[in-house]
Amino acid sequence: MPMNFGPDYVRAIAPYQGGKPISEVAREFGLQEASIVKLASNENPLGIPESAKQAMMAALEDLSRYPDSNGFDLKAAISAKFGVPTDWITLGNGSNDILELAARSLVSPGQSVVYSQYSFAVYPLATQAIGARAIVVAAKDFGHDLPAMRAAITEDTRLVFVANPNNPTGTFIDGEQIAAFIRSVPSHVVIVLDEAYTEYLSPSQRYDAFAWVAQHPNLIVSRSFSKAYGLAGLRIGFGIAQPGLTDLMNRLRQPFNVNSLAQAAAIAALQDEAFLKKSAEINAQGYRQLTAAFDQMGITYVPSVGNFVLFRAGDDDNAGAKVNLALLKQGIIVRPVGNYGLPQWLRVSIGLPEENEAFIVALKSVLA
């Protein structure tokens, strides 16, 4: 009899499928790394901010020491920038860490977690990892159906994940609807509002979720340094919640979950308004470039407010996988989303103008 280690709910987890690394595609398809364009993981095409690079160079000297476990300087910088008290802040090894800390600190095995169909892949992972029950609510027009999510909450629900903007669909719900949803959720249920792409919103779309935290002891807002701030490889993000929830999550986190280089880089990136502005601009420009090409080619896509676009690769059941493979052979890495239940679609991250162009040229030849 083969030995089955671990609980059933852990063995049932489907591992996270990330974007293929450039080195792997070069090896598999016999391509030069320099010729490969990666538009698969919603990374910042501008690279890391120069300000963050400088801050890390200065921080190198102290790497024999443990990081500041409480992230004093970074919390002060977050507090200064966003006007939140430092005891509302939880630092995470990526905002992924915050999502997991919320699940682990709030939900017992057997209790339920509510999230939307086609929402971020980490929600099912975080739910299954703790033996909790997922209540997956059907999406509406590829986005969250908030009234249906409210209705899906049961006695044993402890957590609701809402991504705004959502990944992988790029959909957006305006602030008033989100606020009304938060007000409607029973007080025994905690809402994680995942704002990994909030920096890309236009001024008219913006809302202040941190102000809602003051009114709602059951709200956690998560932010990431991986997208607009350009620090994906460092793994850093943060959560904002009232001290009750913040204290709970901080009991569970690893004492040194955020490394020293990440803390130093994040402080610099937070203050680098010019980089953030440029990131948003190049993204808006790239969105117009990609969607103009999709329109011209008659390709269906979901309008996106993030730094990526979900587009329909074809009508076959495995159109996404087929087009993905053909693109890989041409050195273009995008993201298949079959694991999200979208096997006919692909997600492309918005790159630099020349990267977007290389993708468009390759897609045209693949679909010809």
Range in contact with ligand PLP (rule: CB under 6 A) among 13-21, 89-97, 143-151, 285-293: 89-97
Q: Determine, following the binding rule CB under 6 A, whether residue 167 of this chain makes contact with ligand PLP.
A: yes
290, with CB counted inside 10 A (0-12, 13-18, 19+), is: buried
Of the candidates 44, 128, 224, 307, which one interacts with ligand PLP according to CB under 6 A? 224
What is the closest distance, in whole angstroms, from the C-beta atom of residue 33 to ligand PLP in the complex?
23
Among residues 288, 280, 189, the alpha carbon closest in space to that of 229 is found at: 280
Q: Determine, following the binding rule CB under 6 A, whether residue 194 of this chain makes contact with ligand PLP.
A: yes
Q: Are strands 301-302 and 308-312 parallel, antiparallel or unpaired?
A: antiparallel
Q: Which two tokens stand for residue 362?
A: 């390759």
Residues in the interface with ligand PLP (CB under 6 A) total 13
Residues 236-255 that bind ligand PLP (CB under 6 A): 237
Residue nearest to ligand PLP (CB): 94
Of the candidates 96, 218, 263, 324, which one interacts with ligand PLP according to CB under 6 A? 96
Range in contact with ligand PLP (rule: CB under 6 A) among 90-98, 128-136, 149-157, 296-304: 90-98
CA–CA gap between residue 112 and residue 132 (Å, rounded): 6
Of the candidates 90, 95, 279, 356, which one interacts with ligand PLP according to CB under 6 A? 95
Considering beta carbons, is residue 272 or 331 the nearer one to ligand PLP? 272
Q: Determine, following the binding rule CB under 6 A, whether residue 232 of this chain makes contact with ligand PLP.
A: yes
Q: Which strand (E) or helix (H) includes residue 175?
A: helix 175-184
Distances from the Cα of 335 to the Cα of 106, 229, 343, angstroms? 32, 21, 11
Q: Determine, following the binding rule CB under 6 A, whether residue 196 of this chain makes contact with ligand PLP.
A: yes
Cβ atoms < 10 Å from Cβ of 148: 14
- Token pair 């080195």 is found at 23
What is the closest distance, in whole angstroms, from the C-beta atom of residue 87 to ligand PLP in the complex?
22
8 Å CB contact between 73 and 279: no
Considering beta carbons, is residue 232 or 319 the nearer one to ligand PLP? 232
What is the closest distance, in whole angstroms, from the C-beta atom of residue 41 to ligand PLP in the complex?
8
What DSSP line would sit under 7-58, residue for residue?
-HHHHTPPPP--PPPHHHHHHHHT--GGG-EE-SS---TT-S-HHHHHHHHH
Range in contact with ligand PLP (rule: CB under 6 A) among 55-63, 94-102, 149-157, 246-254: 94-102
Of the candidates 19, 45, 49, 94, which one interacts with ligand PLP according to CB under 6 A? 94
Range in contact with ligand PLP (rule: CB under 6 A) among 18-26, 45-53, 88-96, 184-192: 88-96
What is the closest distance, in whole angstroms, from the C-beta atom of residue 163 to ligand PLP in the complex?
4
Among residues 310, 317, 297, the alpha carbon closest in space to that of 345 is found at: 310
Q: Determine, following the binding rule CB under 6 A, whether residue 171 of this chain makes contact with ligand PLP.
A: no
Return all residues near 279 (Cβ < 8 A) that are at least 6 apart.
44, 46, 199, 200, 228, 229, 230
Cβ atoms < 10 Å from Cβ of 271: 17
Q: Which strand (E) or helix (H) includes residue 358?
A: helix 353-367
CA–CA gap between residue 117 and residue 135 (Å, rounded): 9
Q: Determine, following the binding rule CB under 6 A, whether residue 48 of this chain makes contact with ligand PLP.
A: no
Of the candidates 163, 201, 209, 360, which one interacts with ligand PLP according to CB under 6 A? 163
Considering beta carbons, is residue 222 or 356 the nearer one to ligand PLP? 222
Among residues 303, 367, 311, the alpha carbon closest in space to that of 344 is found at: 311
Q: Determine, following the binding rule CB under 6 A, whether residue 218 of this chain makes contact with ligand PLP.
A: no
Considering beta carbons, is residue 170 or 320 the nearer one to ligand PLP? 170
Residues that bind ligand PLP (CB under 6 A): 42, 94-96, 120, 163, 167, 194, 196, 224, 226, 232, 237
